[in-house]
Structure 1
Amino acid sequence: MYEIADRLVGKVLRKLRIESDLKQEQVAARLGTNQSMISKFESGERSLHLGEVYAYAEALGTTPQRILQEVWDSQKPPHGN
């Protein structure tokens, strides 16, 4: 169950990073970590703790609420189904 949630979060993080026109290396530098950790977050291989969601949001120039809303919205079936 958590594995599915981690993949959803990772997918959203990747989407928001690309929308922010940032490379994994740039996000890693802002978070004080390395590119491989960002890759693990985006692939769902590693979970984000609540505090990390806040830091990640700041690194992407967005809000934790937006990250969580995007994850929530990605779970909903397409309208009309």
Structure 2
Amino acid sequence: MLNLLINGRVDLIYSDPNNVKIGLKAINQPDVAIRYKNITLENQRVGYIAINKNSDEKLVTQLQRAAAKFSKTPEYYRLLDE
């Protein structure tokens, strides 16, 4: 996603600006300028992960554990309050 943005293949990505900054740093592009707009109630969306009914049970379990772990972090509660 970030490579598409940097290379001009897309003009907009829908993501958390903090994650974008972390991603840019990870691919050695920390100086790429980004602009973002805060999410308001009228354009807020619910995120979810869809899994194929034939997905590997181990993968499903890993995703469920990761989601449960994240839901207990301060970052999760910060995102809910925004």
Structure possessing the higher radius of gyration over alpha carbons: 2
Q: TM class by shorter-chain length?
A: under 0.3
TM-score by length of 1: 0.25
When normalised by structure 2's length, the TM-score is 0.25
